[in-house]
Protein backbone atom coordinates (compact mmCIF):
# COMPACT_ATOMS: atom_id res chain seq x y z
CA UNK A 1 0.00 0.00 0.00
CA UNK A 2 1.56 3.28 -1.09
CA UNK A 3 0.56 5.30 1.96
CA UNK A 4 2.80 8.21 1.02
CA UNK A 5 0.47 9.08 -1.84
CA UNK A 6 -2.68 9.51 0.27
CA UNK A 7 -2.49 13.25 0.06
CA UNK A 8 -2.55 14.84 -3.34
CA UNK A 9 -5.79 16.52 -4.18
CA UNK A 10 -8.01 18.17 -5.95
CA UNK A 11 -14.13 19.48 -3.95
CA UNK A 12 -17.23 21.07 -4.58
CA UNK A 13 -17.93 22.28 -1.08
CA UNK A 14 -20.94 23.80 0.58
CA UNK A 15 -19.99 26.09 3.44
CA UNK A 16 -22.44 27.02 6.20
CA UNK A 17 -21.85 28.86 9.46
CA UNK A 18 -20.81 25.76 11.35
CA UNK A 19 -20.52 22.98 8.74
CA UNK A 20 -18.55 22.37 5.57
CA UNK A 21 -20.01 19.72 3.27
CA UNK A 22 -17.09 17.98 1.60
CA UNK A 23 -19.40 15.88 -0.57
CA UNK A 24 -22.86 14.32 -0.43
CA UNK A 25 -22.30 12.64 -3.84
CA UNK A 26 -25.66 13.73 -5.22
CA UNK A 27 -23.78 15.34 -8.12
CA UNK A 28 -20.50 13.56 -8.77
CA UNK A 29 -17.94 13.87 -11.55
CA UNK A 30 -15.57 10.90 -11.94
CA UNK A 31 -12.14 11.98 -10.72
CA UNK A 32 -9.38 12.82 -13.14
CA UNK A 33 -5.63 12.73 -12.75
CA UNK A 34 -5.04 16.47 -12.40
CA UNK A 35 -2.72 16.74 -9.41
CA UNK A 36 -3.21 20.49 -9.04
CA UNK A 37 -4.80 21.60 -5.81
CA UNK A 38 -8.52 22.10 -6.34
CA UNK A 39 -11.58 22.76 -4.23
CA UNK A 40 -14.16 21.74 -6.80
CA UNK A 41 -13.34 18.12 -7.62
CA UNK A 42 -11.73 14.88 -6.54
CA UNK A 43 -8.40 13.80 -8.00
CA UNK A 44 -6.96 10.33 -8.44
CA UNK A 45 -3.74 10.21 -6.44
CA UNK A 46 -2.82 6.53 -6.73
CA UNK A 47 -4.27 3.85 -8.97
CA UNK A 48 -2.92 0.32 -9.07
CA UNK A 49 -4.84 -2.73 -10.19
CA UNK A 50 -8.44 -2.84 -11.39
CA UNK A 51 -10.80 -0.28 -9.82
CA UNK A 52 -14.35 0.88 -10.48
CA UNK A 53 -15.68 4.15 -9.06
CA UNK A 54 -19.23 5.40 -9.54
CA UNK A 55 -22.29 6.66 -7.69
CA UNK A 56 -25.33 4.49 -7.04
CA UNK A 57 -28.69 4.86 -5.34
CA UNK A 58 -28.69 2.96 -2.08
CA UNK A 59 -32.01 2.52 -0.24
CA UNK A 60 -30.33 1.18 2.86
CA UNK A 61 -31.22 2.38 6.36
CA UNK A 62 -29.02 5.09 7.81
CA UNK A 63 -29.23 7.36 4.77
CA UNK A 64 -31.33 10.51 4.47
CA UNK A 65 -34.95 9.69 3.60
CA UNK A 66 -33.95 6.07 3.06
CA UNK A 67 -32.51 6.81 -0.37
CA UNK A 68 -29.47 8.72 -1.58
CA UNK A 69 -26.76 8.85 -4.21
CA UNK A 70 -23.64 7.42 -2.63
CA UNK A 71 -20.07 6.85 -3.78
CA UNK A 72 -19.06 3.26 -4.54
CA UNK A 73 -15.43 2.20 -4.96
CA UNK A 74 -14.58 -1.42 -5.75
CA UNK A 75 -11.44 -3.14 -6.90
CA UNK A 76 -9.70 -6.41 -7.56
CA UNK A 77 -6.10 -6.68 -6.35
CA UNK A 78 -6.07 -2.89 -6.31
CA UNK A 79 -4.86 0.17 -4.43
CA UNK A 80 -6.85 3.30 -5.19
CA UNK A 81 -6.75 6.72 -3.58
CA UNK A 82 -8.77 9.85 -4.36
CA UNK A 83 -8.44 13.15 -2.53
CA UNK A 84 -9.57 16.74 -2.51
CA UNK A 85 -8.62 19.97 -0.85
CA UNK A 86 -10.61 21.41 2.04
CA UNK A 87 -11.47 25.15 2.14
CA UNK A 88 -10.11 25.87 5.62
CA UNK A 89 -6.63 25.74 7.10
CA UNK A 90 -7.14 25.17 10.84
CA UNK A 91 -8.68 21.96 12.13
CA UNK A 92 -9.65 23.78 15.35
CA UNK A 93 -12.22 25.73 13.29
CA UNK A 94 -14.01 22.57 12.12
CA UNK A 95 -12.69 19.72 14.29
CA UNK A 96 -15.60 17.28 13.94
CA UNK A 97 -15.37 14.99 10.94
CA UNK A 98 -18.60 13.15 10.11
CA UNK A 99 -19.27 10.62 7.40
CA UNK A 100 -21.27 7.51 6.51
CA UNK A 101 -19.77 4.34 5.10
CA UNK A 102 -20.54 0.74 4.34
CA UNK A 103 -18.19 -2.14 3.48
CA UNK A 104 -19.64 -4.80 1.20
CA UNK A 105 -16.46 -6.73 0.30
CA UNK A 106 -13.30 -6.80 2.38
CA UNK A 107 -9.72 -8.02 1.79
CA UNK A 108 -9.70 -11.26 3.73
CA UNK A 109 -6.81 -11.71 6.13
CA UNK A 110 -5.64 -8.10 5.86
CA UNK A 111 -3.97 -6.25 8.74
CA UNK A 112 -2.94 -2.68 8.05
CA UNK A 113 -0.03 -2.91 10.53
CA UNK A 114 1.56 -5.79 8.57
CA UNK A 115 3.43 -4.54 5.46
CA UNK A 116 2.80 -7.88 3.73
CA UNK A 117 -1.00 -7.59 4.03
CA UNK A 118 -1.69 -3.92 4.79
CA UNK A 119 -5.02 -3.62 3.01
CA UNK A 120 -8.38 -2.20 4.03
CA UNK A 121 -11.68 -1.85 2.20
CA UNK A 122 -12.33 1.65 3.57
CA UNK A 123 -9.97 4.36 4.77
CA UNK A 124 -10.62 8.06 5.41
CA UNK A 125 -7.57 10.35 5.72
CA UNK A 126 -7.28 13.87 7.08
CA UNK A 127 -3.94 15.24 5.90
CA UNK A 128 -1.86 18.04 7.43
CA UNK A 129 0.84 19.94 5.55
CA UNK A 130 4.42 19.54 6.83
CA UNK A 131 5.71 22.28 4.48
CA UNK A 132 8.28 19.97 2.93
CA UNK A 133 8.42 17.66 -0.06
CA UNK A 134 9.74 14.27 -1.13
CA UNK A 135 10.64 14.51 -4.80
CA UNK A 136 7.63 16.48 -6.05
CA UNK A 137 5.17 15.16 -3.45
CA UNK A 138 4.31 17.16 -0.32
CA UNK A 139 5.13 15.55 3.02
CA UNK A 140 2.18 15.14 5.36
CA UNK A 141 1.15 14.17 8.85
CA UNK A 142 -2.09 12.22 8.44
CA UNK A 143 -4.79 10.74 10.62
CA UNK A 144 -6.42 7.72 8.95
CA UNK A 145 -9.70 6.20 10.16
CA UNK A 146 -10.13 2.72 8.73
CA UNK A 147 -12.42 -0.31 8.61
CA UNK A 148 -10.29 -3.30 9.56
CA UNK A 149 -10.50 -6.82 8.16
CA UNK A 150 -9.04 -8.62 11.18
CA UNK A 151 -8.12 -5.85 13.63
CA UNK A 152 -10.11 -4.81 16.68
CA UNK A 153 -11.63 -1.32 16.82
CA UNK A 154 -9.36 0.96 18.81
CA UNK A 155 -6.14 -0.44 17.38
CA UNK A 156 -3.65 2.33 16.61
CA UNK A 157 -0.72 1.84 14.26
CA UNK A 158 2.00 4.33 13.29
CA UNK A 159 3.65 4.52 9.88
CA UNK A 160 6.50 6.70 8.64
CA UNK A 161 8.20 6.89 5.28
CA UNK A 162 9.30 9.30 2.55
CA UNK A 163 8.86 12.25 4.92
CA UNK A 164 5.20 11.41 5.56
CA UNK A 165 3.69 10.25 8.86
CA UNK A 166 0.38 8.42 9.36
CA UNK A 167 -1.50 7.41 12.49
CA UNK A 168 -3.99 4.65 11.61
CA UNK A 169 -7.00 4.32 13.92
CA UNK A 170 -9.31 1.33 13.50
CA UNK A 171 -12.87 2.42 14.25
CA UNK A 172 -14.80 -0.42 12.58
CA UNK A 173 -13.90 -4.03 11.87
CA UNK A 174 -15.39 -6.96 10.02
CA UNK A 175 -15.22 -9.35 13.05
CA UNK A 176 -17.31 -6.94 15.15
CA UNK A 177 -19.36 -4.93 12.64
CA UNK A 178 -19.62 -7.31 9.68
CA UNK A 179 -20.37 -6.13 6.17
CA UNK A 180 -23.40 -4.72 4.41
CA UNK A 181 -24.49 -2.18 7.04
CA UNK A 182 -24.29 1.61 6.94
CA UNK A 183 -22.57 3.32 9.87
CA UNK A 184 -22.54 7.02 10.73
CA UNK A 185 -19.26 8.18 12.23
CA UNK A 186 -18.02 11.21 14.12
CA UNK A 187 -14.40 11.88 15.11
CA UNK A 188 -12.86 14.81 16.92
CA UNK A 189 -9.93 15.20 14.56
CA UNK A 190 -8.32 17.90 16.69
CA UNK A 191 -8.20 15.55 19.68
CA UNK A 192 -6.73 12.76 17.53
CA UNK A 193 -4.24 15.21 16.02
CA UNK A 194 -3.06 16.35 19.45
CA UNK A 195 -2.60 12.78 20.58
CA UNK A 196 -0.71 11.87 17.41
CA UNK A 197 2.10 14.36 18.01
CA UNK A 198 1.96 15.57 21.61
CA UNK A 199 0.24 13.32 24.14
CA UNK A 200 2.50 10.32 23.71
CA UNK A 201 4.24 9.97 27.08
CA UNK A 202 2.83 6.44 27.55
CA UNK A 203 3.05 5.37 23.91
CA UNK A 204 4.96 2.07 23.50
CA UNK A 205 6.61 3.31 20.30
CA UNK A 206 8.19 6.50 21.59
CA UNK A 207 10.85 6.53 18.88
CA UNK A 208 8.39 6.77 16.03
CA UNK A 209 6.06 9.06 17.96
CA UNK A 210 9.02 11.38 18.59
CA UNK A 211 9.62 11.50 14.83
CA UNK A 212 6.02 12.68 14.44
CA UNK A 213 6.76 15.42 16.97
CA UNK A 214 10.00 16.52 15.30
CA UNK A 215 8.36 16.69 11.89
CA UNK A 216 5.62 18.83 13.40
CA UNK A 217 8.11 21.20 15.00
CA UNK A 218 10.16 21.45 11.82
CA UNK A 219 7.04 22.39 9.85
CA UNK A 220 6.33 25.20 12.31
CA UNK A 221 9.94 26.34 12.25
CA UNK A 222 10.07 26.37 16.04
CA UNK A 223 9.09 24.49 19.16
CA UNK A 224 5.49 25.50 19.90
CA UNK A 225 4.82 27.12 23.25
CA UNK A 226 1.08 26.54 23.36
CA UNK A 227 0.67 23.07 21.86
CA UNK A 228 -0.98 22.11 18.55
CA UNK A 229 -3.81 24.64 18.55
CA UNK A 230 -4.14 28.17 17.29
CA UNK A 231 -0.68 29.41 16.35
CA UNK A 232 0.74 25.91 16.78
CA UNK A 233 -1.49 24.15 14.24
CA UNK A 234 -0.35 22.61 11.02
CA UNK A 235 -2.43 23.66 8.03
CA UNK A 236 -5.04 21.17 6.86
CA UNK A 237 -4.03 19.92 3.44
CA UNK A 238 -6.74 17.57 2.15
CA UNK A 239 -9.17 14.73 2.74
CA UNK A 240 -8.64 11.38 1.03
CA UNK A 241 -10.47 8.06 0.55
CA UNK A 242 -8.53 4.85 -0.03
CA UNK A 243 -9.65 1.32 -1.00
CA UNK A 244 -6.84 -1.22 -0.90
CA UNK A 245 -6.64 -4.95 -1.66
CA UNK A 246 -3.40 -5.41 -3.62
CA UNK A 247 -1.26 -6.99 -0.91
CA UNK A 248 -3.77 -9.72 -0.10
CA UNK A 249 -4.63 -10.14 -3.81
CA UNK A 250 -8.33 -10.07 -3.01
CA UNK A 251 -11.37 -7.90 -3.70
CA UNK A 252 -12.63 -4.88 -1.75
CA UNK A 253 -15.71 -2.69 -2.04
CA UNK A 254 -17.01 0.17 0.07
CA UNK A 255 -19.54 3.01 -0.15
CA UNK A 256 -19.44 6.55 1.27
CA UNK A 257 -21.88 9.40 1.84
CA UNK A 258 -22.33 12.78 3.57
CA UNK A 259 -18.75 13.74 4.44
CA UNK A 260 -18.65 16.96 6.48
CA UNK A 261 -16.46 18.97 8.84
CA UNK A 262 -18.28 20.83 11.63
CA UNK A 263 -17.59 23.18 14.49
CA UNK A 264 -18.60 22.06 17.98
CA UNK A 265 -21.73 24.21 17.77
CA UNK A 266 -22.86 22.24 14.74
CA UNK A 267 -24.78 19.75 16.85
CA UNK A 268 -24.64 15.99 16.96
CA UNK A 269 -25.00 13.72 13.90
CA UNK A 270 -28.54 12.82 12.90
The DSSP call for residue 3 is G
What pLDDT, on the 0 to 100 scale, is given for residue 134? 85
* Domain contains 148: yes
Looking at residue 251, what is its pLDDT?
96
Report the DSSP pairing between strands 137-148 and 164-173: parallel
Indicate whether 110 belongs to any domain.
yes
Position 222 in a domain: no
- Is 210 among the domain residues? no
Instruction: Give the Cα separation of 24 and 69 in Å (integer).
Output: 8
DSSP-based helix, strand, coil % in the chain, nearest 5: 15, 45, 40
Other Cβ atoms less than 10 A from the Cβ of 224: the count is 16
Q: What is the pLDDT of residue 58?
A: 83
Q: What is the pLDDT of residues 161-183, one digit of tens each?
A: 888 999 999 999 999 999 999 99
Domain assignment present for residue 249? The answer is yes
pLDDT the model gives residue 68: 82
Range of the domain at 253: 3-191+234-266
Assess if residue 74 is contained within a domain: yes
Q: What is the pLDDT of residues 66-102, one digit of tens each?
A: 568 999 999 999 999 999 999 999 999 999 999 999 9
Q: How many domains does the chain have?
A: 1
CATH number of the domain encompassing residue 182 = 2.60.120
Residue 230 has pLDDT above 70, yes or no: no
129 within domain boundaries: yes
Note whether residue 40 is domain-resident: yes
To 10 degrees, what angle do helices 189-197 and 206-220 make? Answer: 110
Amino acid sequence: MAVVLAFLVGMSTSVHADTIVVDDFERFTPPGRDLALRLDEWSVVYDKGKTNITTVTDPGPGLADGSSRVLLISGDNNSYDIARKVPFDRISRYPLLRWKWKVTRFPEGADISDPNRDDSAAQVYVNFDLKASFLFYPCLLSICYYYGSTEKPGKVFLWEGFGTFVEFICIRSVPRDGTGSWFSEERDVLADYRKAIVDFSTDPDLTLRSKFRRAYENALGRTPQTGPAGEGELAVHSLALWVDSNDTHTRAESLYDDITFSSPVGGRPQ
